[in-house]
Amino acid sequence: MHAVRASYVAAREVLRSLVAEWAGTLPSAVRLERTPLGALYLPDYPLAGCSLSHTGGAVLATLRPNGPVGVDLETISRPIGDLDALIGTACTAHEQACLAALPPALRHRHFLTIWTGKEAVLKGLGLGLSVDPRDVAVHQVEQSPSSARWHRPRPGAADRWQLERIYEIPDHIATVAVPQCETLHRG
């Protein structure tokens, strides 16, 4: 549990440093708050979106000055107990069929690719896992950029998202999500 807490604290400090660099302030001056659903936001920069993820000793933080953004990071080598059961509760029928058609050796990695897309979109929407992950359908799984669709539109929430995979983190799958009508810039 100590390692998980340290990773969480490190992730928040990385995000504070990122925001401070953008805002021209000190990391200690950056306030991070959580919504009732647990989504991070920057009360001093209400138009900015931010997201973070941490796992397996890796931390990923994103900042978008003018809109929503979500990120998720998963360790590829992390064991998943009952993968088929998880696929059944997290994936759309189409995603389930695509995963079932894969050889068992590839199913785990492809599931994590789908999962990071779903979670990045749900974080970008500010919902996290408060809703059914099957409400997000991921398309073009192994392509980057790929896309996802949010099936429960609501006022002010984008229903189509662009997903960008980040390949530079060894033994991890990472995805950043922004509303599809906008461009993702990597720096």
Mean pLDDT of 139-167: 76
Residue 173 domain flag:
yes
- Quote the pTM value: 0.89
- Domain of residue 26, CATH code: 3.90.470.20
Whole-angstrom Cα distance, residue 53 to residue 123? 10
Number of folded domains that form the chain:
1
Q: How far apart are CA 111 and CA 83, in angstroms?
A: 9
Asked, for residue 83, whether it belongs to a domain, the answer is: yes
Looking at the domain assignment, is residue 70 inside a domain? yes
Q: Helix count (H) and strand count (E) of the chain?
A: 4, 9
Q: Structural domain of residue 126, as residue ranges?
A: 2-179
Lowest mean pLDDT across 10-14, 66-70, 147-151:
147-151
CB 68 within 8 A of CB 158: yes
In a domain, 127, yes or no: yes
More confident residue, 127 or 22: 22
185 in any annotated domain: no
Instruction: Tell whether 107 is covered by a domain.
Output: yes
Give per-residue pLDDT as tens, 25-36: 999 999 999 999
